[in-house]
Amino acid sequence: MVAEEWGREAGNDGWHRRWEAALCRSYERADDVFKDNSLAPYSVGTTALVAILSPCQIIASNCGDSRVVLSRGKQAIPLTVDHKLDREDEVARITNGGDHDLKPWVIAEPEVTFMTRSEDDEFLILASDGLWDVMSSDDAVKLARYELRRRRRLPEKGDTPSSPACGAAEELVKIAYDAFSTDNISVVIVDLKAPRIRSLQNTEKRDEKQM
């Protein structure tokens, strides 16, 4: 959906605005699909995260209380802001809608942020609130870094070995579960130091210089 909407937004001024418009439309389309196919569209819902990597930018978007966190130089940097009731703007928006369990007041519009990439970037954590309810961004980054380093040193076993990032994500899920998290626990880790990602990044940078 994002690729399709990116192509449709070619007339927008500036690439920031183009990405924002493409992501907003993609979230709206996804929301419409869920509404049309859900067995109980008015009593259930979900959060959504999208992270897009370019050679020089990380573009993150969020709707709900999931979160994207960047590990950069041993620092945990949240790239999204949770949509929770402890945010004054969220309280005001919902209160203004009245005490009704109605879809018009639960919107699918994401917040979009842009972060310039750095050589110090290590990995991204994309996770639902089941993780963040029982773990801080700092702790998640420390645990993920430890697991990534440990698993990179392990010998490969079998024909389809689990990647270090996948194994680290599974470990975060296990820790959150053992901490009695009561919500959905979904975790994805993107290893920004992985050879394939770094190779593609260097190739794209060379292509840009030649243009």
Q: Which amino acid is at 147?
A: E
Average pLDDT over residues 202-206: 55
* pLDDT for the residue numbered 157: 66
Residue 55 half-sphere exposure toward CB, CA atoms < 13 A: 11
| 68-72, 105-109, 119-123, 134-138, range with the lowest pLDDT | 105-109
Q: How many CB atoms lie within 10 A of CB 188?
A: 16
Q: How far apart are CA 146 and CA 155, in angstroms?
A: 17
Q: Is 11 left (phi over 0), alpha (psi -120 to 50) or beta?
A: alpha
Nearest Cα to Cα of residue 121 among 48, 173, 197, 66: 197
Q: 């700092």: which residue's tokens? A: 138
Q: Does pLDDT of 194 surpass 90?
A: no
Nearest Cα to Cα of residue 106 among 39, 23, 46, 20: 46
* pLDDT for the residue numbered 49: 93
Average pLDDT over residues 88-100: 49
* pLDDT for the residue numbered 35: 75
Q: How far apart are CA 3 and CA 52, in angstroms?
A: 11
* pLDDT for the residue numbered 98: 45
Q: Is 158 left (phi over 0), alpha (psi -120 to 50) or beta?
A: left
Q: In what order do the strands lie in the sheet with 57-63?
A: 48-53, 57-63, 111-116
Q: Domain coordinates of the chain in residue numbers?
A: 46-210
Average pLDDT over residues 181-185: 93
Q: Out of 3.40.50.150, 3.40.50.1820, 3.60.40.10, 3.40.50.620, select the CATH number for domain 46-210.
A: 3.60.40.10
Q: How far apart are CA 176 and CA 186, in angstroms?
A: 10
Most confident of 19-33, 95-109, 175-189: 175-189
* pLDDT for the residue numbered 155: 77
Q: How far apart are CA 56 and CA 179, in angstroms?
A: 37
- Taking only the tens place, the pLDDT of each residue in 15-64 is 899 999 999 999 999 888 877 776 655 556 678 999 999 999 999 999 98
User: Pick the residue with more confidence: 202 or 170?
Assistant: 170
* pLDDT for the residue numbered 102: 45
Q: How far apart are CA 126 and CA 52, in angstroms?
A: 12
* pLDDT for the residue numbered 32: 84
pTM listed for this prediction: 0.80
